[in-house]
Amino acid sequence: MSETIPPPIDTSSVFGEILGDDSTKRRRPEPTVVVIFGATGDLTGRKLAPALYNVMLDGALKEPTVIIGVSRGALTKAAFGDKLKPAVTQHSRQPVVPDKWQAFANKLEFVGGEFSDDATYKALGEKIDEGMKKGAKSVVFYLSTPPAVFPIVLEKLHQHKLITRSVQKPGVPGCRVIVEKPFGRDLATARALNEMIGSYVDESQIYRIDHYLGKETVQNILVLRFGNSIFEPIWNRNHIDYVEITASESIGIEGRGAFYEQTGVVRDIIQNHLLQVMSLVTMEVPSSFAADDIRDEKAQVLRSVRSLSLDDVANNCVRGQYRGYRQEQGVAADSQVPTFAAMRLMIDSWRWEGVPFYLRAGKKLAQRLTEVSIHFKAVPLVLFKEEAAGSVLQPAVLTLRIQPHEGISLRFVAKVPGENINVGNVVMNMTYADAFKRPIAEAYERLLLDCMRGDATLFNRRDSVDRAWELIQPVLQVWEATDGVQIYEPDSAGPKGANVMMSRDGRAWRDLKV
């Protein structure tokens, strides 16, 4: 007798949507004109076009949604679709089949020209007008370009009356601008960039995208914390010893030497991704799951993070560089740019006083892994003296795996079967793929849909961006003014200095395993 495979579970209908404003939850966006500047670039092919194709397959796009690519060169509508198809075929989570692809290709338009040329924006305006006459309600401009190009694009959009400054309300059609990271190189440039963008559009129209916040597993941090009464009472300094947040990659810089020489791992990963994840792990209970209520609490916890002194940078921040980085194309022979960074942060709040947060990120490490590990305090050893002497008894650890193999695991102590009271460590795992029997959508799918809906919950607000740069600024200033990067071997756990930093506190990183 063959086994019957149950149908996929539609978690959206079982649990409902909780994140976001009431006017946007579980609602398909109104027909939208999506304009992508830099439409022939890598990001569009790898992320944006596959995301839009998949949300179309999921039935989330209302007709007549129009997708206009803007880039240098001259492409016809058909040629633009032909150029995107191989990349979408490679990167889409759902297969590209002829009839579905044709439906997607029918939504595409292309405007070729220089970003500084008035003719480009005149042609773009005509395409937008066509979309609005067909029934589109909103316009989203996606600036998939280097930040240096932002001013000229926004100035020309404003000059040709393609963007209008207005306060946007959640769920109401309007004009919005999506800005890709990096949001500046440091605090001063980030503030200047925000001032420049803010001179053309209102803060409510600006959607600063961080793809980490679009990941289902990152969003689940809030649900796990606030949706389970067993966790919230122990989510504080009384029960938690320390927290680790790791983002390790097994690949190197993959030919992006010139980019990485200007960026480094702190700007690339820690200043945005890891600080955002930390704010979700540590924020207080919001009054609701509406966009501003969540973003208020995230901003508040970042303000509570203790600023780093020069001594903190010297003793609690470690930089490393994988062996072979200096031989990469575009990298200086004596480069001090870190490809690995680890640091300890403290939060001066009632909930987290005395609990250290250890952040690490790096390239060419032993494992591709992004996770948050909550290490709980050890139990008193009165009942387990003999077991503790053999280092068998270990404190409980709750691990939130963001990628890959997305899920949650809990390590705890249990009795080993037998006559004697022997204890062992047990790991209990939950993976999203097994639990819900459905694929996890890519982050850009959720983020693009939310912008089209007018829901800013998962996007960075200006005050959080500024505060993140304030926290990282001392590290950048010291490291860029001094030598001292530690060389580490590829496929390792990083430089030894990161282990020394943890050992001084009597703690250790979770192993990175090949």
Rounded-to-integer distance, Cα 124 and Cα 109, Å: 10
The yes-or-no verdict on residue 254 having pLDDT over 90 is no
pLDDT band at 73 (very low <50, low <70, confident <90, very high): confident
Q: How far apart are CA 298 and CA 275, in angstroms?
A: 10
CATH 3.40.50.720 intervals, the chain: 31-208
Q: How many residues does the chain have?
A: 514
pLDDT(420) > 60: yes
Report the percent of the chain where pLDDT is more than 90. Answer: 64
Q: Is the pLDDT of residue 300 over 50?
A: yes
Q: For 43-52, 245-254, 258-267, 436-445, which range has the lowest pLDDT when averaged over its residues? A: 436-445
Q: Burial letters for 286-306: b for 16+ Cβ neighbours within 10 Å, e otherwise?
A: beebbbbebbbbbbbbbebbe
Angle in degrees, CA 287, 291, 297, rounded to 5: 50
Please state the rounded mean pLDDT for residues 429-453: 85
How far apart CA 406 and CA 277 sit, in angstroms, is: 15
Res. 395 pLDDT band, cuts 50 70 90: confident
SS (H, E, C) 212-245: HHHCHHHHHHHHHHHHCCCCHHHCCCCCEEEEEE
Calculate mean pLDDT across residues 97-122: 94
| φ, ψ of residue 254 in degrees (nearest 5) | 50, 55
* Main-chain phi, psi angles of 13, to 5 degrees: -85, -25
How many CA atoms within 13 Å lie on the side-chain side of 198? 11
In the chain the first and final C-alpha atoms are separated, in Å, by 40
Determine the pLDDT at residue 470.
95
What pLDDT sits at residue 22?
60
Give, in order, the Cα–Cα distances in Å from 165 to each of 145, 202, 207, 420. Answer: 21, 6, 14, 73
Give pLDDT, residue 392: 60
Residue pair 457/289 in contact by the 8 Å Cβ criterion: yes
Q: Quote the percentage of the chain above a pLDDT of 70.
A: 91
Q: Higher confidence at residue 208 or residue 10?
A: 208
Written as one string, the DSSP assignment of 96-133 is: --HHHHHHHHTTEEEEES-TT-HHHHHHHHHHHHHHHH
Q: Is the pLDDT of residue 23 over 70?
A: no
pLDDT (0 to 100) of residue 155:
95
pLDDT at residue 21 is higher than 90: no
Question: Confidence class of residue 217 from pLDDT cuts 50, 70 and 90?
Answer: confident
Q: Which sign does the torsion angle of CA 275, 147, 163, 82 carry?
A: negative
- Could you report the per-residue pLDDT of 226-253, keeping only the tens digit for each? 888 899 899 999 999 999 999 999 999 8
Report the candidate in 46, 45, 56 with the shortest Cα–Cα distance to residue 82.
Answer: 45
Distance CA 434, CA 407 (A): 9
Catalytic residue from among 91, 273, 375, 405: 273
- Band (pLDDT 50/70/90 cuts) for residue 26 is low
Residue 13 in this model has a pLDDT that exceeds 80:
no
CA–CA distance from 367 to each of 339, 358, 376, 409, 508 (Å)?
15, 18, 24, 18, 17
HSE value, Cβ hemisphere, 13 Å, CA-based, for 448 = 30
CATH superfamily of the 31-208 domain? NAD(P)-binding Rossmann-like Domain (3.40.50.720)
Beginning with the edge strand found earlier in the chain, give each strand of the sheet holding 369-376 in spatial order.
Answer: 422-431, 407-416, 397-403, 369-376, 240-248, 356-362, 340-346, 317-322, 486-488
User: What pLDDT is stored for residue 14 in this prediction?
Assistant: 32
pLDDT digits (tens, 9 = 90+) for 168-200: 887 788 899 999 877 888 899 999 999 999 999
CB of 366 closer than 8 Å to CB of 294: no
Active site residue 375: no
User: Token pair of 325, please?
Assistant: 């980085």
pLDDT at residue 72 tops 50:
yes
C-alpha to C-alpha distance for 203 and 223, rounded to whole angstroms: 27
Per-residue confidence band for 25, with pLDDT thresholds at 50, 70 and 90: low
Q: What is the pLDDT of residue 5?
A: 34
pLDDT of residue 3: 36
- H or E stretch at 320: strand 317-322
- Going by the DSSP 8-state scheme, the letter that residue 492 receives in this structure is B
Higher per-residue pLDDT: 436 or 491 = 491
Q: Quote the CA–CA distance of 81 and 92 in Å, as a whole number.
A: 15
Residues of the chain with CATH 3.30.360.10: 213-504
Distance between CA 217 and CA 403 in Å, rounded?
8
Give me 273's structure tokens.
């991704």
Tell me what pLDDT residue 4 has. 37
- Rounded to 5 degrees, φ, ψ at 122 are -65, -45
Helix H or strand E segment including 298: helix 291-304
Q: Are 477 and 350 in contact (CB under 8 A)?
A: no
Q: What average pLDDT does the segment 141-153 reach? A: 91
Rounded distance between C-alpha atoms, residue 301 and residue 322, angstroms = 33
Tell me the average pLDDT across 121-126: 96
What's the token pair of residue 342?
A: 């680890």
More confident residue, 338 or 416: 338
Quick one: pLDDT at residue 211?
A: 87
- b/e map 163-193, b = 16+ CB within 10 Å: beeeebebbebbbbbbbbbbbbbbbeebbeb
What is the pLDDT averaged over residues 429-437? 82
User: Is the confidence at residue 44, as pLDDT, over 90?
Assistant: yes
Instruction: Label residue 385 by pLDDT band (50, 70, 90).
Output: low
Q: Does domain 213-504 have CATH number 3.30.360.10?
A: yes
Average of per-residue pLDDT across 102-122: 94
> Which pLDDT belongs to residue 394?
78
When the pLDDT of each residue in the chain is averaged and rounded to a whole number, the result is 88
Q: Which residue has the higher pLDDT, 405 or 482?
A: 482
